[in-house]
């Protein structure tokens, strides 16, 4: 990472997992900062992190500009962020990591909106497959986005990773070009592939939702696979 | 339908909808029978119909032969049909029209089985997108199958329509070749496309889950589109 000016870091599964900090991740952050490497957090798990909430607020501006009244399938903890958004007579569906909020009734309501108004957009805050919680792997937004896409024969618009705009906005903020930056994450598609698609180095850590098959698949390959965030920093800075 | 020896008929949306018989559908059945046309019911909505349950029983034999212990995401009314099937330590996931049974917890359990045992099959009783109930269109098995396929990067095995085996088994039972038979249904993909793929005529009715866009899409086209089952029979027998 000697030649890198900036590093984008996923939070859940890289810094912490299941509510606990991952060993040495705070040390790794301190090393990066001590070397003057720019750091930005990029997360799709917008329950606990300020970075995630800021990202959501961008999504809200995006809704207001287009006059969209969303049916919200998002995590209940995120709902206050949507205050001031009209949700009566919805003409759009927004899908995040709603977890237990993915009830059959809420999914049916979403489907009916999309079927009844062919122009109603399906907006995905993320397409992640799953995340790791205390009790094991849990379905993230992606599979439910896929369910609605299948049910209604539509394609979702993506506002979160791996959308190129998310990575490019962070780089712009850091005044860094893609060839001077790396993304470190535990999600092969959302983090690594998304970053590679816009020219960043994609580094996969073996923490969080990582599974050994992430290294053997034919569809995607990380530029570097390391034990954890600290190792990524140590390897890059040796 | 003069030259047809046999007709396969979907039940939900063709004979009845939202629990009520569709006008003249019983008359249409009587006409077919009076003319000696072979009739078989092919349904994926296996909650109320004996035909559906028989189909399920075939699926169960299919599970036993392969030593599969399924995690069942099926309609609660169907569960008694799975008596005698071991479901401890599941090594397979079976998805039907579970409706309110599609809880986040049940879907997470299904995902974990598929991720932890790469050989565990995902078995779809159907891939239908939605069905029409009293309160409107409701998500059927298909979108939830798509969700698990996306989450686990697997492809489901299909035991119901539009699987070719379902149509061919019915024709075999009727001792009829595909060119002598038609399928009448309200589901463009499950009924019409599935039937056409094995050489039957595919007739779409404008009852049940039919939507006008079923006639204008570019992906699929029915051989004949008619108001209802009675009209299909009357047109075919004129």
Do A147 and B136 make contact, defined as CB atoms within 8 angstroms? Answer: no
User: Which residue in A39, A76, A78 sits closest to A160, CA to CA?
Assistant: A78
pLDDT for B18: 74
Given the structure tokens 């039907």, which residue do they identify? B96
8 Å CB contact of A151 and B130: yes
Domains along chain B with CATH numbers:
6-42+161-237 (3.40.50.1000), 66-158 (3.40.50.1000)
Where is pLDDT greater, at B234 or B81?
A: B234
Query: What is the token pair recorded at A51?
Result: 């970075």
> Does the beta carbon of A139 lie under 8 angstroms from any beta carbon of chain B?
yes
The pLDDT assigned to A223 comes to: 93
Q: Which residues of A touch B105 (CB under 8 A)?
A: 100
> Are A108 and B137 a contacting pair at CB < 8 A?
yes
Hey, is the C-beta of A53 within 8 angstroms of any chain B C-beta? no
pLDDT tens column, B31-45: 998 989 999 888 765
Query: B109 CB near a chain A CB, below 8 Å?
Result: no
B148 contact A CB<8A: yes
Q: Is A144 on the interface with B (CB under 8 A)?
A: yes
pLDDT averaged over every residue in chain A: 86
Nearest Cα of chain A lies from the Cα of B6 at a distance, in angstroms, of 31
- The answer to whether A118 contacts chain B (CB < 8 Å) is yes
Using CB atoms, pick whichever of A101, A136, A139 lies closest to residue B107. Answer: A139
Residue range B91-98: mean pLDDT, rounded: 93
B interface test, pick of A143, A189, A209, A219 with most B CB neighbours within 10 Å = A143
Are the beta carbons of A104 and B107 separated by less than 8 Å? no
Q: Do A137 and B104 touch (CB under 8 A)?
A: no
CA distance A50 to B50: 55
The answer to whether B168 touches B194, Cβ cutoff 8 Å, is no
Which residues of chain A are within 8 Å of residue B144 when distances are taken between CB atoms? 147
Q: Between A and B, how many CB-CB pairs are < 8 A?
A: 89
Asked if residue A106 lies in contact with residue A185, where contact means CB atoms within 8 angstroms, the answer is: no
Distance CA B111, CA B149 (A): 9
Question: What share of residues in chain A are helix, strand, coil (percent, to 5)?
Answer: 40, 20, 40
User: How far is it, in rounded angstroms, from Cα B206 to Cα B212?
Assistant: 8
Range with the poorest average pLDDT among A161-165, B34-38, B111-115, B226-230 = A161-165
- With beta carbons less than 8 A apart as the criterion, state whether B123 and B157 touch: yes
Name the pLDDT band for B11 (thresholds 50, 70, 90): confident
Instruction: For residue B132, give how far its alpha carbon lies from the nearest alpha carbon of chain A (Å).
Output: 11
* Confidence band of A160 (pLDDT split at 50, 70, 90): confident
Using alpha carbons only, how large is chain A's radius of gyration in Å? 18
CB contact under 8 A, A151 and B129: yes
Angstroms from B62 CA to nearest CA on chain A: 26
- Determine the length of chain A: 238
pTM exceeds cut of 0.90: no
On whether the CB atoms of residues B75 and B47 are closer than 8 A, the answer is: yes
**Contact across the interface for A99 and B102, Cβ inside 8 Å:** no
**Across the interface, do B150 and A130 touch by the CB < 8 Å criterion?**
no
- Give A29-64 pLDDT, tens digit per residue: 999 989 899 998 887 654 444 445 555 556 667 777
Percent of chain B's residues with pLDDT above 70 = 90
Cβ atoms < 10 Å from Cβ of B195: 31
Chain B residue with minimal CA distance to A143?
Answer: B147
To test the contact with chain A by mutation, choose from B74, B76, B104, B106 the residue with the greatest count of A C-beta atoms within 10 A, namely: B104
**Alpha-carbon span A198 to B17, nearest angstrom:** 50
Q: Name every chain B residue with its beta carbon within 8 A of the beta carbon of A153.
A: 129
User: Residue B152 contacts by C-beta under 8 Å, 6 or more apart in sequence?
Assistant: A129, B111, B114, B115, B122
User: What proportion of chain A, given as a percentage, has pLDDT over 90?
Assistant: 52
Are B102 and A104 a contacting pair at CB < 8 A?
A: yes
Query: pLDDT at position B173, please?
Result: 84
A28 neighbors A21 (Cβ within 8 angstroms): no
Conformation bin of residue A209: beta by default, left when phi > 0, alpha when psi is -120 to 50? alpha
Cβ–Cβ contact A137 with B under 8 A: yes
Q: Residue B182: name the closest of B123, B237, B107 by CA.
A: B237
Q: Is the distance from CB of B215 to CB of B11 less than 8 angstroms?
A: no
A residues 174-213 lying closer than 8 A (beta carbon) to B: 211, 213
Q: What's the pLDDT at A67?
A: 87
B138 touches chain A (CB under 8 A): yes
Of B99, B137, B144, the CB nearest to A147: B144
């Amino acid at each position: 990472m000697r030649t890198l000016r900036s590093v984008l870091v996923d939070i859940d599964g890289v810094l912490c997992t299941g509510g606990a900090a991952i060993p040495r991740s705070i040390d790794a952050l301190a090393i990066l900062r001590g070397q003057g490497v720019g750091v930005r957090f990029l997360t799709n798990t917008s329950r606990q992190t300020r970075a995630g909430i800021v990202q959501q607020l961008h999504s809200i501006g995006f809704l207001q500009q287009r006059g969209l009244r969303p049916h919200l399938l998002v995590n209940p903890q995120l709902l206050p962020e949507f205050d001031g958004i009209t949700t009566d007579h919805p003409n759009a569906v927004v899908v995040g990591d709603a977890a237990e909020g993915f009830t059959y009734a809420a999914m049916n309501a979403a489907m009916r909106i999309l079927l009844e108004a062919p122009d109603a957009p399906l907006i995905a805050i993320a397409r992640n497959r799953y995340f790791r919680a205390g009790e094991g792997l849990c379905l993230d937004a992606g599979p439910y986005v896929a369910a609605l896409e299948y049910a209604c024969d539509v394609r979702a618009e993506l506002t979160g990773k791996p959308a190129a705009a998310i990575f490019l906005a962070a780089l712009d903020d850091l005044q860094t070009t893609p060839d001077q930056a790396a993304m470190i994450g535990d999600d092969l598609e959302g983090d690594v592939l998304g970053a590679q698609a816009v020219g960043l180095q994609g580094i996969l850590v073996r923490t969080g939702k990582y599974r050994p098959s992430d290294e053997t698949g034919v569809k995607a390959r990380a530029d570097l696979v390391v034990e954890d965030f600290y190792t990524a920093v140590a390897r890059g800075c040796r």
